[in-house]
Amino acid sequence: MSGRRRRYTIVGLCLVLLATCVAVGAQWWTGRWKGSVTVLGNWTGGDEERFRRDVLEPFERKHRIRVVYQGSSAESQVLAADVASGTPPDVVIMPGPGELAAYAAQGRLKPLDGLFDPDHYDPGWAPALKGGVHWIPVKADLKSMVWHPGALTEAEAARIARDPGEWCLALESGATSGWPGTDWVEDVLLQQAGWETYQKWATGRLPWTDPAVRRAWTTWGDLVGAGDRRRVERALLAPYQDPWGGERPACARERLEHQAAFVRSGAHWTAVRGRYVHAKAVIPGARQDLTAWEVSGDLAAMLHDTPEARALVRHLADPGTTQLGFTANRAVPAGTYDGDPTAERIDATLRGRGTMRCWDASDAMPPAMRDAFHQAALRFLADPGELPARLAVLEEVRERHGRAEWLPSACGSG
């Protein structure tokens, strides 16, 4: 046999072996799964990797159910398009209950009753709507927090809070840019007017033109220097995830940041041994006779009632499933934060009984209202003189939404 024919024969045998291996591998892969479930979430990048590694992969190994996960920073738009085309995911994980309440009102969400232990959650985290519970929290976060360097006392933090130059402000967040600003307005209203007024507003029963709402906007503007062109330009372009980093950090000298618990592990706050005070300690006119916290969370809901989707929801609600951060599940053992006193304090506030917790109002509002609120925060920061016009537009949006699209409650102390 010639050398050339020998080479052709060897190549041919290799191709046959490769085809055989592919066929066998395909049969093995197909036989590995008992079914599949599609999931849409807003976690991308490192958050998505952690969700896949710590939560989804253990579920796949245990149940032999393949999870097809899609992460998108424009989750609301993706879900709306999927629903309109008749191809929604089996399970969706969304930040906040407002959008889910709208889908529940349309009859698109399937009840989750029987898939989790109701004693594991405060009813505020997993409320009963339209005859059943339609979402459960996968991850929780605490707000109403003002972070400051550990070297500062609470009194010193309150004193420097009157200087707009001390506040780190970053509002860029892709399709949801503006939400750090709405967090500010919400928290100021909560601390100044109390949770009853806040709840009426967050559930669509208080006009945007109400004096208490207007006062919250102007207080925020005064605190952070709304209208200051230089500060505003930096704030509008700075990514909320890391305003302290990058080649041109938006927050180089600032010592205060109004932000949720997730920032505690950031490089900047770790370096300065960051601590936090309740927002009422630094907000002018805040009521000192009450303590209410704003909270947020990523909630899992089911759009297709399949055995695979039900199994995944059970897994997400299982207190033994790896937590992605802070949890609202009261059955998760305490002391899971390696003796970190700051984390344990946050955890106690999120899960403790008798603590007044109110949903992030923009997350609790119908999608169109939430989006208009985000845009108004950006515009107000640039031109606070336009506040009356901005509030009038927001009020028009509120009046267009029927009561069925709003949450019945946004606060609770269960």
pLDDT digits (tens, 9 = 90+) for 381-399: 999 999 999 999 999 999 9
- Give the pLDDT of residue 260: 97
pTM as predicted: 0.90
Which CATH number is 142-294+359-412 given?
3.40.190.10
Q: How far apart are CA 399 and CA 213, in angstroms?
A: 16
Return the biggest CA–CA distance within the chain: 97
Domain 35-141+297-351 CATH assignment equals 3.40.190.10? yes
Nearest to 271 by CA among 286, 255, 284: 255
Q: Is the dihedral of CA 336, 329, 325, 34 positive or negative?
A: positive
- Which tokens is 409 given? 């409650």
Asked if 150 and 268 count as a contact pair (C-beta separation under 8 A), the reply is no
List the alpha helices (DSSP H) in 64-145: 75-84, 98-105
Percent of the chain with pLDDT over 90: 85
Q: Is the pLDDT of residue 15 over 50?
A: no
Q: Return the residue matching tokens 């031109």.
A: 383
Can you give the length of the chain in residues? Answer: 414
pLDDT in tens, 140-160: 999 999 999 999 999 999 999
- Give the pLDDT of residue 175: 86
- Residue range(s) occupied by CATH 3.40.190.10 in the chain: 35-141+297-351, 142-294+359-412
167-168, strands of its sheet edge to edge:
167-168, 256-258, 145-148, 275-278
- Give the pLDDT of residue 233: 93
- Helices 75-84 and 98-105: crossing angle in degrees, nearest 10, is 10
Q: How far apart are CA 257 and CA 263, in angstroms?
A: 9
Q: Which residues of 96-119 are buried (b: 16+ CB within 10 A; e: fewer)?
A: bbbbbbbbbbeebbbbbeebbeee
Q: How far apart are CA 49 and CA 43, in angstroms?
A: 9
CA atoms within 13 A on the CB side of 356: 13
- Which tokens is 106 given? 């349309």
Give me the mean pLDDT over the 222-228 stretch: 97
